[in-house]
Amino acid sequence: MNRGLSTAWAKPVTLTLGLLPFVWLVYAAFADQLGANPQEALVRATGDWTLRMLCLVLAVTPLRVMSGLTALARLRRMVGLFVYFYVCLHLLAYSWFDMGLVVEDIANDIAKRPFILVGFLAFVLLTPLAATSFNRAIRALGARRWQALHRLVYAVAGLALLHFFWMRAGKRNFAEVAVYAAIIGTLLGWRIWKYSSKKRL
């Protein structure tokens, strides 16, 4: 499997798979298959896919270490960029459908509603990660600084989960929140365990 992940086809296949949700949402919007409230469906779907991609990018390192599939590392940055792609779509959908692209209304809403503020902070923290997800940025920053900067993804995961929790709290629907919390908690717990193990050696 390492050999397959190392081929020239691995990245195009990953790109295609990462774009499939976007293609489906575009098709569903034009085919009127998003339900009675298509605007809300788009806002929620893009947010859901942001969280799913975030779980995937956090899972790459544990999977690579536990399975020995070292070639997974070359796909991690692409998956990370999909997190940013879908969060940009989520922010655009919210700004357009909920706020009518009125900057003053968006700013007021961010300041007024904590769950919007938390989601926006996650977007802000993701921006430098996306902007430095290239080899030239790694060389410019140096590997140690680049790694330190990209540890912000852990803060992003916490903020994204809190944003999702607050959004669902209004309807007291916590089933999906619990699933994502379990996944993210397990992935971050694995990292803490690995870090502690290295410290003891």
- pLDDT recorded at residue 2: 66
Q: Is it the case that residue 201 has pLDDT exceeding 60? A: no
Q: Is it the case that residue 3 has pLDDT exceeding 80? A: no
Q: Is it the case that residue 45 has pLDDT exceeding 90? A: yes
Q: Is it the case that residue 170 has pLDDT exceeding 90? A: no
- pLDDT recorded at residue 10: 87
* Residue (of 98, 163, 97) closest to 125 by Cα position: 163
pLDDT tens for 120-149 read 999 999 999 999 998 899 899 998 999 999
- pLDDT recorded at residue 199: 63
Q: What angle do CA 54, 181, 116 make, to 5 degrees?
A: 70
Residue 100 pLDDT grade (very low, low, confident, very high; cuts 50, 70, 90) = very high
Q: Please, which residues have CB within 8 angstroms of residue 121's CB and are 6 or more apart in sequence?
A: 159
What predicted TM-score, i.e. pTM, was given to this entire model?
A: 0.93
